[in-house]
Amino acid sequence: MNRRDFIQSAIISGVGMSSALALAQGKTTGQKYELSGLDVAGKKLDLKDFSGRTVLVSFFTFDCALCTHDLKLMREFYVRNASNKFVLLGVNMDQNKKDLDEYNEATTLAFPKDQRFPTVWRNAPGHKDNFGKVSSLPSHFVIDAKQQLMFKREGAFQADDWDKLWLSLG
């Protein structure tokens, strides 16, 4: 076995073991996640519309430096993997809609349209989701093609999270 095959095999084994460990610890429940509302452009957004894809749902605020760092990396991953059945959804947690509007204006000016991912405001009238209380920012949920939780990360995305996310794309 060459070095590349060994590393790939080790990563796949590690993902399998971490998934088994997560199941043993009750971290994945088989619950189907839901999210619906209007995105920042006023367009209807529903997580169900992304069935059959891996979805990274990231909860953030406008003034969170760690969130900004993670979203930069996630945007790069999104751009490179949108054609691989991958979707990035942002859920803004700011209390004040003005902060979200400033974020949206900045991203509209800074990034071409194909690099902007759908973002919703969690405090918007009509917004619904069943992700529960988000106590740490950023918080990221990776949802599989069946809309079930693969894993959750509170705080910064870790190196092995990127590996698991990439491998989930098949």
pLDDT tens sequence across 68-99: 999 999 999 999 999 999 999 999 999 999 99
At residue 9, the pLDDT reads 52
At residue 170, the pLDDT reads 78
Q: How many Cβ atoms are within 10 Å of 55's Cβ, its own excluded?
A: 21
Residue written as token pair 């945007």: 75
Contact 62, 94 (CB under 8 A): yes
Contact 20, 28 (CB under 8 A): no
Q: Which of 134, 158, 115, 157 is nearest to 61 (CA)?
A: 134
At residue 14, the pLDDT reads 47
Give residue-wise pLDDT tens across range 57-69.
999 999 999 999 9
At residue 17, the pLDDT reads 42
Domains and CATH numbers, the chain: 30-168 (3.40.30.10)
Which amino acid makes up residue 118?
P
The residue ranges of the chain whose pLDDT is under 50 are 4, 6-7, 10-26
**Which phi and psi angles does 120 have, rounded to 5°?**
-120, 160
